[in-house]
Structure 1
């Protein structure tokens, strides 16, 4: 039986919605039937026939056409098949292949698979099975499901008989299925999901209708020899492609607006008039897309050019001023004409205002408004009333006054005729006169906005006075960026295509060769959800869904969740990865999880496991928002859905970012989705414990797995050996409990000692004894190489157990160090350095150091250089290493070469003295310190003397780096045997130098000198040295030579002028031991005549102790000129006693008296004492009186009133007693009056 023709008609009017189908069926040659079906759309159709018996084709065609015409006349419309009116075929051509005409099954399907299959059978029957249509009549539905959606669901569930059902659908020439691309994509996707080799021919027939990548991956799933269909692609450098595409996308993200030709010409003119066209062209030639978003002007322009660009100065600033003045002059004339009718009112107002009495408490702004005539802007009711009365009294119209004031506000500055002539000349110079004259004609109102008028000037004129040169450079640079971006767009498409093909090809290869999966997963890290990568991302995402590749799907999902979305819908174009797109994919993943849990429950834990494994506590996206209790992965929607679906307080917002409700505490226990499925998946839970990177995930898996005690007991030992080293304490403790019965096994012991928690390690450490290390030598190596301090300390205590095998122990420790992770190496190197240089010093074999030198890491080579001196062997055996280290430019390696010099004899060391000294004077501390060690090993006096001669010039220089001086001092300390041979003059230079280093070295050498090496003067000077040890030595030497001190006291007394308090006190104590007979007025005055208070006090005590009759005058004459107030007061104490009735002595003390009397606001006791003394002595001797008169005359102008009156009184009395014609004082006798 063959269907030759089928026509489908549709009728819809009001509530009537009917279908009518007419078929011509061939039974055999020249035997045909005409059948028909009719009924409501979506319901079961009633069948019938117009031919009770078979007829010829011509007859059958006539009958069918007649039936169709009658129905068309009744209002039916042909929607598919042959139309007898237009004699054309609508829709697909008739199917002439023999088919089995199916009838709608009457059996009621029960399972979901049966329902989907039954629905597909109905769709195969054509439109008569449709129950509804969409509004546009483009998609038909059966029971609310479209054909495309039903095919997709069939593929998702891999229903039985899928290939036959799809073949029947295609054979029925389906219609009303919507977008053909989606329809055929769904068929190919379902065929690939079926993995049925019988689908190959059907898939091949659809090749032209489906995307190439889907066709290829479908072939890989259903073809009997899939390797034959493996796609080919060009090998590319994915990181480079990714970087290039990313840079292009970043350039695309910048808003660049193309200028019109006029706009571009304007900006070019601005630059031209500034004389910077050449600089602009050079800038544009250097620009690249990478400069977008950076300060490219500062990068490519010279500082002088950049300053000009930022100056905001026009090329011809006088032009704009001239244009403005011409326009203002015209506008002022228009304003004057407009106010002519109102001006008399304003003049009368001003005259009346001048006579008006202004109200009190009036603001200045109100006065200003009133004077300008803007009385409509006043808010002062009293002033407004007074002004209204003024207007009425003088016959002034209020409205006329206000109108005048408003117009006058538009008046600009006054332009003189001279200035106007200058402006016209400037306009002629720039050929702008005619253009401005045209603008002048447009000023016919005071309301004209001058800036708007100026905008009508030609671009050439405006560019001459444009100030914003920076904008011109930026806009023209933007045009260059647009060109570069357009050029890159042509090239980048090839890169995007190559990237896409390489990603898909690599994924396809994993279907044939699973060993390539790691390579593909690495390539997958370059696939992003945003920008130009979006197409690759979508294709890989859907392919991962097709293949049920949960690992790839989980990685792509996290890439999407962490992607940076663009604006949902841009002004100019739809963005490929918007926030809405991101939300859609998040919802899609959640639906996928729920569907998997519902229809493939065993697969849900597998998919969820892959998603949870990607959560990482150390990643940037692991964050806790301040003020909100714990929220670790807010952007990972799928992770939070799996763990917190049933949480009441921890919920997603509209963007599927998870937040804890304010004021709530997270309910994180038992909140996971599909908890029953996890109870049936202990393998996945164990996998999470073994590989997860997040505390939440670990705790979730631990909590669900802990109850499976029987299942856990069956796990092999290797599982627990892995879990005990995990960074989560609950998991590690669980593993430790399982491992305790096997503690005697070496691998168990090693695993427990590698645990990250001290409580677990202690389980093993408490049971280790010396015998444990003796029976297992490798155990000691393991413990010494442990990153944990408690393990290392215990191993160090048992180091003696390997005392007969120390060299081999060192060798194994070095091997362990090399194999350790980089972070552990940083911990082990200082630890091993101490071991090899202290308890194992001198036992390091050459092979161990050689092994370190063979490594490429700098830190291991540096460690070898530090150990080289500890190697067992002489210098000759280590010569190759010495040459290698000495020629290196690395200071640490050079340190190893210097360290080897210790193994040489002094005679051999002399050959390497330049190397040793270069190391000593180097800026690197390690190199200097090793040089000090090598110098310290020198015993030969001549070689030590050579070292000293090379060090001396450096002693007088400034310290180049911190620690340099300290190392030089250590080197000099090792040269003690030659101290006595060092010249005294050089020693003196060292001690008195400005260099702190020289002083320190001098202090080292000084104790080797005897008492008579230096003079008393030199010793006194050394007591003031900045170096404490030098001061102490000098004082000690002086203390042992009192006779020299007394004989050269004028030099020894220098030690009292000392800024060091402790040293000065020691010097005073030394002088106090001298005999009393030594202290004469001369020596006492030497002591007292110092600036330090404690020394002055010591001098006064000496004076009282050693005073002899007749010494008073000497002390007075020597100490009277001392500037210290204390000494001056001390002098005044015995002034009366030792100078009374000695005019000659008193006259000699005139400087002392003057010093005391000139003190302001201080020394009152001494001053009063001196004034009284001088007045008394002046009464007794004329020579003293003359001295006092001269002295008091100078002081009579003092600001202290009490002193001034005293001075004048004394002068009057002395003038009366000793008349002096030359006196400046004139006594005016009182006038005698007679009444």
Structure 2
């Protein structure tokens, strides 16, 4: 029995896929039968026949076609057709076991597996049919297309998906009929239709492809259609954003745009940029997932890597257990029991769980690894490059860290500690998988989410060995390593690419001078060093590349600039003739180049023509500086200094139009150069263009304003003297540079015109007397007065001077002191004025007062009572000066009891101590009573104790003194817990005096009786003792004391 023709039909009834196969067999010469099989897809099909006995070919064809037409009318669709004239018969045989080692390569093995799996009764837990089909697509085995076509009829939806995927990648256009049928079949699942469409686009001719793309285009919203047809990326991006914001479109449009980007290339940028930022959340994630799978199919490295990076770096939208179960819906926190069912809904509240995230991270690396293992060198290198370009130091670099774990080990009965070190970028799993899969330093432990240093590896150890996955693929395609070096912003990637390129013998084939220069432009030392080595190879001293040298001397890394210096120093005269190279030494952002270039200029002889050309080139470059470049101002500063220092003689006659261009440039230091040229310009100030000086003065650049004022000061003196109001405005300007620039002019005019000087300083005084509204104004005016107007201080009245000295503003005080010091003789100052200065907060004022004291000793002795007031000022250094001064200069003849006691009358402890010191030094017996009486009136405890020293000598046997000291006794004895020694001395003194005569006893009894009622127990005993002694001696004196006789008890002893 020979199979002549076979047609496979398919339809969906409810949720079931139904299959119907019609076969035309030849059973003999001109004898044919028509058989059929039917049933559910994946189940054993039931057999039947439409011919009870054989018939001829025309009748057989009629029966065969009628049955097919009947089934199609009932909803079946044709999914496959076989004809013996096109393909040899495949005879079904019993399944055989396929062993990998029986075949020379993977393709043979997979083909054998596919044919084995196609036979009834196939079972293999490792190599499922879906996996085999997928591997066919991965390996692009075109020989498997017929087998896949046959399998499509009997397969379930998942297998159909894999078959469509594989057919599209195998590249056999003969599969388009089946793919189109699956794409158009109503029974096909949506995900099968999507991959069938993608495969069709990959296989069909241009006419059919355009038809399919046009059908996708027609699905777009009219606004998006118009944007696509505009041919502008910005219009498409705008339409996408607005359409989403206004809910005219869903995120499905992104998937359509990705498919359309094959025809409209400018759409691709919209897709890629959107994929980089869109959140992985419900309503968005599923379409990003679709694009991910399409990119995987197409091996679209950029899009695939972009999405894979997002999957790795984006946080999961929600979390659930690895074993399934429910989860909370973010935002609402509603509990969802069946997350799988929820995510299959069109309006699902869930998407991109933690388990989904982990799956896609693993799948992304698996896809890369498969390319590498399948020896698809270019595909692997291209995809890995796209992956590596996703990472950057700014976005992804983390600090190295270490984790310390401590546990108790029962066997050793001790604590153990393990320190785990994690490198930078440790959580970038795919980055490390590509760069360090074969590393002896790093490892990724199972079920962990970060790479770590191996236990025996030190964190600061660098490896000189190749550590990346599949180094052989990189060796075959070094152009991708070169792309990494030119495009990557990740240091780890640069270290890898440089190491791999250095080991590649093809480096010289792909590296040229342009590539070397690109490497020099990178920020990583390892890359720049490689570029520098290449540059040295390409540089020819016999024919120096001046443009290359110019680039190198401007390089941000000093070790690169040093090479440029070496080349120039080797041929200074040649490079001197290359004006633009020398101009780049001047117009340079780096100070070491400025200094070296200036030294070179002092050694190299430039002709006047060369110098003029250099000036023109330098000024031209300065005028071309970008005001938005942060280095521009630094460049202009260094260049301006070099030009003014080395070429001022040639700059003096530069066209004023050029100078005005410099002054109008937005970079501040370029304006400063222009203003600096004006200062030295041969053109007289009076011949400057109208408004030029005023424009300088009104400039926003401080240095330019200052130079403008300097130029104003060069006007004729007569014109300046007539502009006193302008000069005053400059002196009080809110800009310090204007104030300071006009000072020399003011000093010059004041020296020439005393009338001007006197008038001008008077105008300044009210400004100094008022609160400073402009920071630094008072300080600058003080400098002006000190440097240019000192001769006119006498124009200021002494009243104003003292008012300013008493001001609360330091600068105003200094001006006041300046006036006093220069206009008032010390002999004209009263002692109180001098003491006022000794009590001033400014040290220089206090020191001036001390100097006057030192110079006028005799005067201070004559006015001693006033001079002693210096001891009561608030500044301790002035008081100390006073102590030393009076110790040194005042003798016993200069101290009177009144003066000595007046010192003690101070409320300051240090002054009181000094008073006691001078009293004891210059004590005179005849003045003892006066000291006692006056010191006893002082409220200080120390002086009260000090006064008790004079009681026995100067108050004994004197009722008059006792009467005068009565208040002193009461005051001291009334103090609680104070003056213990003074109280003891007073009690002893009063007891002695009370027993001498009745008058004294009467006075003292009143004092003691009063105090006894208020004193503490210890002092009360002293009072009682004194009153007891007075009662014994003078019984008639009234005292609050009753003496009781204590009875004596006699004891009689018996014999």
- Closer/same/farther in 2, CA of residues 1109 and 130 from structure 1, 3 Å limit: closer
Question: How does 1:187-586 map onto structure 2 within 5 Å?
Answer: 187=164, 190-191=167-168, 194=171, 208=184, 210-211=193-194, 214=197, 218=201, 222-223=205-206, 233-235=225-227, 491-492=246-247, 494=249, 496=251, 505=260, 508-510=263-265, 522=273, 525-527=276-278, 529-567=280-318, 570=327, 571=336, 573-574=342-343, 575-586=350-361
- Closer/same/farther in 2, CA of residues 62 and 617 from structure 1, 3 Å limit: closer
Measured in 2, the distance between the counterparts of 1:599 and 1:1182 equals 134
Q: Deviations over 1:843-892 (max 9, x none)?
A: 79777876677666xxx34874798567546498587677668778xxx5
Q: Deviations over 1:295-339 (max 9, x none)?
A: xxxxxxxxxxxxxxxxxxxxxxxxxxxxxxxxxxxxxxxxxxxxx
Number of residue pairs matched by the alignment? 929
Q: Deviations over 1:1011-1055 (max 9, x none)?
A: 244322122122111111111122223433344434433333221
Confirm whether residue 794 of structure 1 aligns to residue 795 of structure 2: no
Measured in 2, the distance between the counterparts of 1:189 and 1:761 equals 56
- Closer/same/farther in 2, CA of residues 602 and 1198 from structure 1, 3 Å limit: same
1:54 deviates by: 6.3
Confirm whether residue 600 of structure 1 aligns to residue 376 of structure 2: yes
Aligned equivalent of 2:615, options 764, 787, 808: 808
User: Comparing 1156-1165 with 814-823, which one deviates more in the overlay?
Assistant: 814-823
1:1060 deviates by: 2.0
Measured in 1, the distance between the counterparts of 2:946 and 2:647 equals 74
Given that 1:241 and 1:499 are in contact with CA atoms closer than 8 Å, whether structure 2 keeps it comes out as no
- Closer/same/farther in 2, CA of residues 839 and 700 from structure 1, 3 Å limit: same
Question: How does 1:916-927 map onto structure 2 within 5 Å?
Answer: 916=730, 919-920=733-734, 927=735
- Closer/same/farther in 2, CA of residues 657 and 977 from structure 1, 3 Å limit: farther
User: Comparing 983-992 with 760-769, which one deviates more in the overlay?
Assistant: 760-769
Measured in 1, the distance between the counterparts of 2:226 and 2:507 equals 50
Confirm whether residue 818 of structure 1 aligns to residue 614 of structure 2: no
Confirm whether residue 903 of structure 1 aligns to residue 711 of structure 2: yes
Question: How does 1:1072-1083 map onto structure 2 within 5 Å?
Answer: 1072-1074=888-890, 1076-1083=892-899
- Closer/same/farther in 2, CA of residues 875 and 1191 from structure 1, 3 Å limit: farther
Measured in 2, the distance between the counterparts of 1:499 and 1:709 equals 44
1:984 deviates by: 1.0
Which residue matches 1:1137? 953
Measured in 2, the distance between the counterparts of 1:1177 and 1:104 equals 153
Given that 1:623 and 1:631 are in contact with CA atoms closer than 8 Å, whether structure 2 keeps it comes out as yes
1:1202 deviates by: 4.5
Measured in 1, the distance between the counterparts of 2:199 and 2:255 equals 14
Confirm whether residue 699 of structure 1 aligns to residue 495 of structure 2: yes
SS in 2 for 1:633: coil
SS in 2 for 1:23: strand
SS in 2 for 1:629: strand
Measured in 1, the distance between the counterparts of 2:1003 and 2:903 equals 31
SS in 1 for 2:596: helix
Given that 1:188 and 1:203 are in contact with CA atoms closer than 8 Å, whether structure 2 keeps it comes out as no
Q: Which 5+ residue runs of structure 1 have no aligned equivalent?
A: 10-17, 66-79, 136-140, 249-487, 921-926
Measured in 2, the distance between the counterparts of 1:981 and 1:100 equals 127
Aligned equivalent of 1:998, options 791, 803, 812: 812
Which residue matches 1:718? 514
Which residue matches 2:839? 1024
- Closer/same/farther in 2, CA of residues 704 and 34 from structure 1, 3 Å limit: same
Confirm whether residue 631 of structure 1 aligns to residue 386 of structure 2: no
SS in 2 for 1:1192: helix
Question: How does 1:120-159 map onto structure 2 within 5 Å?
Answer: 130-132=119-121, 145=129, 150=133, 156-157=138-139
SS in 1 for 2:746: coil
SS in 1 for 2:939: coil
Confirm whether residue 1007 of structure 1 aligns to residue 821 of structure 2: yes
Which residue matches 1:1045? 860
Given that 1:119 and 1:142 are in contact with CA atoms closer than 8 Å, whether structure 2 keeps it comes out as no
State the Cα RMSD in Å.
5.6
Which residue matches 2:220? none
Which residue matches 1:34? 33
Q: Deviations over 1:960-984 (max 9, x none)?
A: 7986765565465455343322221
Measured in 2, the distance between the counterparts of 1:1227 and 1:8 equals 142
Aligned equivalent of 1:588, options 357, 363, 370: 363
Measured in 1, the distance between the counterparts of 2:351 and 2:876 equals 81
Measured in 2, the distance between the counterparts of 1:239 and 1:49 equals 60
Which residue matches 1:257? none
Which residue matches 2:1004? 1188
SS in 2 for 1:618: helix
Given that 1:875 and 1:904 are in contact with CA atoms closer than 8 Å, whether structure 2 keeps it comes out as no
SS in 2 for 1:1175: helix
Given that 1:635 and 1:656 are in contact with CA atoms closer than 8 Å, whether structure 2 keeps it comes out as no
Aligned equivalent of 2:392, options 602, 607, 616: 616
Measured in 1, the distance between the counterparts of 2:64 and 2:992 equals 166
Which residue matches 1:417? none
Which residue matches 2:331? none
Given that 1:234 and 1:498 are in contact with CA atoms closer than 8 Å, whether structure 2 keeps it comes out as no
Which residue matches 1:1150? 966
- Closer/same/farther in 2, CA of residues 1159 and 495 from structure 1, 3 Å limit: same
- Closer/same/farther in 2, CA of residues 93 and 1196 from structure 1, 3 Å limit: closer
Measured in 1, the distance between the counterparts of 2:79 and 2:952 equals 150
1:988 deviates by: 0.9
Given that 1:583 and 1:656 are in contact with CA atoms closer than 8 Å, whether structure 2 keeps it comes out as no
Aligned equivalent of 1:1209, options 998, 1005, 1025: 1025
With normalisation by structure 2, the TM-score equals 0.72
Which residue matches 1:55? 56
Measured in 1, the distance between the counterparts of 2:380 and 2:805 equals 86
